[in-house]
Amino acid sequence: MSELRWNPLLKTWTMVASNRQARPNMPKDWCPFCPGSGRVPEHYDVLKYDNDFPALKLNPDKPDVEGSDLYRVAENYGKCEVILYSPEHTKTLPELSVEHIYKLVNLWTERFRELSKDEKIKYIFEFENRGEEVGVTMPHPHGQLYAYPFVPLKLKVELDSCKEYYFEKGKCMICQMNEEETDFKERIIYENDSFIAYIPFLLTIPTVFL
């Protein structure tokens, strides 16, 4: 069972999912995400697979605990999906062809648009975990998609900061950050016609010459 629990200090919800403790470690001689397992199609390039142990559900659970005025609880409404990158068990994302990655991006886009139609969904997060240390039990190449019924705290703070900056300065904060990084150049990791990636200013260690 799972539920959302309200953190009154941070004014945000936390997902508590006791059902995820029952997730199995994958047997060495079998993988549910490989063709032939009976769990996925015999032939696929990329695939959306509903998570077997979701923290969020379109048919939510009844909360395990009873809340109060201070410690509120709510149903775990939302959606958790597994996005399979490839039918090949040992293929990693960097090893996929550009054409294959294009199919993967199209699937992300398709799922984002479909889940966005639900007015109860407030934020959609596409991500990938790697390694047993962070709870990965299935090594088959995959990522995940979580559709939240709320905007996570860090994202909400960033959005509120951008709105405040715009009303004060009349400028888009993200646009100005991109312009300053483009002019400075030294923190840019990669840039093309569509994207720019750079090290955040706050994480940059200044060079000291003695």
The one catalytic residue in 43, 89, 140, 142 is 142
Q: Is 100 a catalytic residue?
A: no
What gap in Å lies between CA 154 and CA 144, rounded to an integer? Answer: 19
Residues 6+ apart with CB under 8 A from 67: 5, 6, 73
For residue 16, is it left (φ>0), alpha (ψ between -120 and 50) or beta?
Answer: beta
Any alpha helices (H) in the chain, and if so which ranges? Answer: 98-116, 153-169, 173-184
**Roughly what angle, to the nearest 10 degrees, separates helices 173-184 and 153-169?**
90
- Active site amino acids: 142
